[in-house]
Structure 1
Amino acid sequence: MATLVTSVDDIPEDGSYLFTVEAADGETEEVILVRLEDGVSAWKNFCQHETDQRLDLGEGVARRDDQIICPKHGSAFDVGSGYCGNGPAAGSTLEEVDVTVRHGQVYLTDDDLEFSHEGGSDEDDTPGSSSHLRF
């Protein structure tokens, strides 16, 4: 079943749109939407190098050109494929979440996840970044 998440217009061109989903086991996970030249991609909100490191800390991802930058170690993930070509996460790929765009609206179409709410999870135990990287 497709669930409306947001409008493409609500996704910042150089950042991300953060929302929370619930898995079948009841666990919540964060997902980021990023704009592409020809659509939208959706990724689970964590770096492949350290899975407790969020890419979007609540203010959008850091982006450089067509890459999402991990705020802790600087690994750069392609916004379209999720593949990382450098840094500690080199050779890994972000975990994709299935979404569909219809008439300018983004729908969650991943059978394993249910839309919970806009924004991040309510958990306060997620570690922040100690990095001083800014883009």
Structure 2
Amino acid sequence: MTMTERTRLASLDDVPDRGSVLFTAVDGTGTEEEVIVVPCDDDPGVEAWVNRCTHENYRLDRGRGAAMRDGQVICPKHGSMFDACSGHCDNGKAAGTTLVEVEVAVEDGAVFLADDEFAFAHEGGIDDGDGGPGSTSHLSF
């Protein structure tokens, strides 16, 4: 597949400095997965992850952008923090785990879905009205 055949997700300027761009993709089994694109200091400037904490499959971006601090994505339920560039967590209930990566590419200031395991479905979440259970995190946003 050439870059021109890949799905354009956003411009780099659309990815907030402390937040995410949310979209839904379909994996090889036909299962819908929410995916977040987050800023990263490493080249190419963004990374993409399946939108769920590894601890309890809780949505990191519940439709308003993922909470971020100091280059880390914060789970709003228990406060585990995942490195935005590597997806690794070294604290909280998700310590020792890594988010599921979704490959993206950046070309001419635009972010493209580049993962052969996923096909773009639509912008936004699977069910934007489902915010999930309330937070038990000690962190405030």
User: Who is 2:36 aligned against?
Assistant: 32
Q: CA separation in 2, counterparts of 1:123 and 1:42?
A: 19
TM-score (ref. length: structure 1): 0.92
Q: What value does the CA root-mean-square deviation take over the aligned residues? A: 1.6
Unpaired runs of 5+ in structure 2? none
Contact 1:54 1:128 in 2 (8 A): no
Give a deviation string over 1:51-88, Cα, whole Å, max 9, x none.
1x100010011111111110000001001000001000
TM-score (ref. length: structure 2): 0.88
Contact 1:43 1:96 in 2 (8 A): yes
Q: CA separation in 2, counterparts of 1:57 and 1:129?
A: 11
Unpaired runs of 5+ in structure 1? none
Give the structure with the higher percent helix.
2
Residue 103 (structure 1) aligned to one of 108, 112, 125: 108
User: Who is 1:43 aligned against?
Assistant: 49
How many residues are treated as equivalent by the alignment? 134
Residue 135 (structure 2) aligned to one of 127, 130, 134: 130
Contact 1:57 1:128 in 2 (8 A): no
Give a deviation string over 1:91-124, Cα, whole Å, max 9, x none.
0000000000001011101101100111111375
Q: CA separation in 2, counterparts of 1:112 and 1:125?
A: 25
Pair 1:18-2:22 in alignment: yes
Amino-acid identity (%):
54
What letter matches 1:84 in structure 2? C
Residue 7 (structure 1) aligned to one of 5, 11, 15: 11
Moved >2 Å (runs of 4+): 122-135
User: Who is 1:64 aligned against?
Assistant: 69
User: Who is 1:55 aligned against?
Assistant: 60
Q: CA separation in 2, counterparts of 1:45 and 1:8?
A: 19
User: Who is 1:86 aligned against?
Assistant: 91
Contact 1:7 1:106 in 2 (8 A): yes
Q: CA separation in 1, counterparts of 2:66 and 2:115?
A: 22
Q: CA separation in 2, counterparts of 1:125 and 1:15?
A: 19
